[in-house]
Amino acid sequence: MVKDGKRVAWITGGGSGIGEAGAERLAADGWIVVVSGRRKEALDAVVAKIAAAGGKAEAMPLDVSVAADVQKVADEIVSRHGRIDLLVNSAGINVPKRRWADMELEGWNQLVEINLSGVLYCMRAVLPAMRRQQDGLIINVSSWAGRHVSKMPGPAYTTTKHAVSALTHSFNMDECVNGLRACCLSPGEVATPILKARPVPPAAEELAKMLQPEDLGRTIAFVASLPPHVCVNEILISPTWNRGFIQTPASRD
């Protein structure tokens, strides 16, 4: 049970994009929101925006690829608030050199450390508190690329996002007996700053047709609003104007 009605959410990648939108929506729903990310200035801006709207938010800078630092932030949240009810793993990156022809091991390792190991580190860090509560929700932001293999995201990104899906389902298999649940949120193209890292960034008219960060913010808040006996195992969501469909030639007999 949530003590005194207080609900505490920790959001990584909270300084921009999906994480920022999720933080704003959760705060509007009355959650105490802790945003983490590598850029303190961006986090502070999100906190100020939430506060101006009457919400409660805090910034705790963090590189999710450093396991010890992840644990320190999780412990600090529990020390301040006594609980963690929701973890949103939204931190993620991609790199421009993402083809087999030009990919570099440095880029591969960076994606694995942040997109996959960072997710695991955060899940592991909140697990003791959630087990004590016998209640807790984790939302792992994966990707359409974590369900459908395509060339554009590149092998490293696609592999890490497939692994996040497996990690999420594995968590539910083990932790459902403790009242815990996890959702793998797999969006198609979202108009976020990460798209600037693409070899050919989308044009403005293409960005306007994509999912917007606030669409995912609403989705995160919806999953978080459901009662503890409900587990939304996976959400696959895409723009109606889906470039993956449009660019695929019709099959011929």
- Would the pLDDT of 83 be above 70? yes
Helices 118-133/155-175 angle, 10° precision: 20
* Residue 188 belongs to a domain: yes
pLDDT at position 252, please?
A: 39
- Would the pLDDT of 251 be above 70? no
Confirm whether 157 is a catalytic residue.
yes
pLDDT at position 4, please?
A: 64
Question: Is the whole model's pTM more than 0.85, yes or no?
Answer: yes
Percent of the chain predicted with pLDDT > 70: 96
Rounded distance between C-alpha atoms, residue 56 and residue 50, angstroms? 7
- Would the pLDDT of 62 be above 90? yes
Q: What is the pLDDT of residues 110-119, one digit of tens each?
A: 999 999 999 9
Rounded distance between C-alpha atoms, residue 149 and residue 139, angstroms? 22
* Residue 250 belongs to a domain: no
Q: Which domain holds residue 45?
A: 3-245
pLDDT at position 1, please?
A: 43
From the list 157, 171, 181, 221, the catalytic residue is 157
* Residue 85 belongs to a domain: yes
Rounded distance between C-alpha atoms, residue 27 and residue 220, angstroms? 12
| Dihedral angle, C-alpha 43, 237, 179, 65, nearest 10 ° | -40
Percent of the chain predicted with pLDDT > 90: 87
Confidence grade of residue 124 (pLDDT, cut at 50, 70, 90): very high
pLDDT at position 7, please?
A: 97
Question: What integer best gives the mean pLDDT of the chain?
Answer: 94
Tokens of 162: 């497939």
* Residue 198 belongs to a domain: yes
Residue 238, phi-psi category: left (phi > 0), alpha (psi -120 to 50), beta (remainder):
beta
Q: What is the mean pLDDT of residues 205-228?
A: 96
Q: What is the mean pLDDT of residues 98-117?
A: 96
* Residue 253 belongs to a domain: no
Q: Which of 86, 122, 233 is nearest to 169 (CA)?
A: 233
Place of tokens 């369900």: 147
Rounded distance between C-alpha atoms, residue 6 and residue 82, angstroms? 10
Cβ proximity of 243 and 200 under 8 Å: no
* Residue 252 belongs to a domain: no
User: Phi and psi for 242 in degrees, rounded to 5?
Assistant: -95, 110
Total domains in the chain come to 1
* Residue 10 belongs to a domain: yes
Q: What is the mean pLDDT of residues 136-150?
A: 96
* Residue 132 belongs to a domain: yes
Of 96-100, 124-128, 152-156, 242-246, the one with minimum mean pLDDT is 242-246
CATH at residue 212 = 3.40.50.720
What residues are paired with 32 via a beta bridge? 8, 56
Of 70-74, 190-194, 222-226, the one with minimum mean pLDDT is 190-194
pLDDT at position 243, please?
A: 86
Residue 213, SS3 per DSSP: helix
